[in-house]
């Protein structure tokens, strides 16, 4: 099984809901309390130290559109998922909702390691009703 934490923000390239890492700028813009931003920086520093940056998140083709990917945690990455849940709570406390989504299998992968998988964005389900949230997020 795979786990991903998403926000209602839309990634302009992949055209899917952004993961929690990409939401930092928005939380900062919301004017989150300093204690919350400090906690996020601590958690993100841990991820930077312990989690490899994906080697590839997009596949480019000569004769068709590029294939953009999104990151999923493997269910065996328990420490990562636990910290991601904490980050999701922090981001939600700042005013940006975060939801966890799961997938039982990912048929195609762009890149993978022991803790995470990059799968095509088109395979990621949408969680938020963007018609209702568009005014709130912008």
> Which of 41-55, 59-73, 98-112 is least confident?
59-73
- Mean pLDDT of the chain, nearest integer: 90
Amino acid 124: pLDDT: 87
**Residue pLDDT, tens place only, 58-96:** 877 888 778 899 999 999 999 999 999 999 999 999 999
Amino acid 42: pLDDT: 98
**Domain limits of the chain?**
2-137
Q: Is residue 136's pLDDT more than 50? A: no
Determine whether 137 is exposed, middle or buried from the number of CB atoms within 10 Å of its CB (0-12, 13-18, 19+): middle
């Amino acid at each position: 099984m795979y786990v991903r934490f998403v926000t209602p923000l839309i990634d302009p390239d992949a055209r899917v809901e952004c993961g929690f890492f990409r939401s930092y700028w928005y939380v900062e813009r919301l004017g989150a309390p300093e204690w919350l931003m400090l906690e996020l920086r601590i958690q993100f520093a841990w991820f930077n130290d312990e989690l490899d940056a994906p080697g590839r998140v997009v596949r480019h083709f000569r004769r068709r559109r590029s294939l953009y990917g999104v990151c999923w945690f493997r269910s065996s990455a328990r420490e990562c998922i636990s910290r991601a849940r904490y980050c999701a709570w922090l981001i939600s406390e700042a005013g940006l909702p975060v939801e966890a989504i799961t997938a039982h299998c990912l048929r195609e992968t762009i890149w993978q390691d022991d803790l995470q998988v990059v799968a095509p964005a088109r395979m990621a389900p949408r969680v938020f009703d963007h018609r209702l949230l568009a005014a709130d997020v912008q």
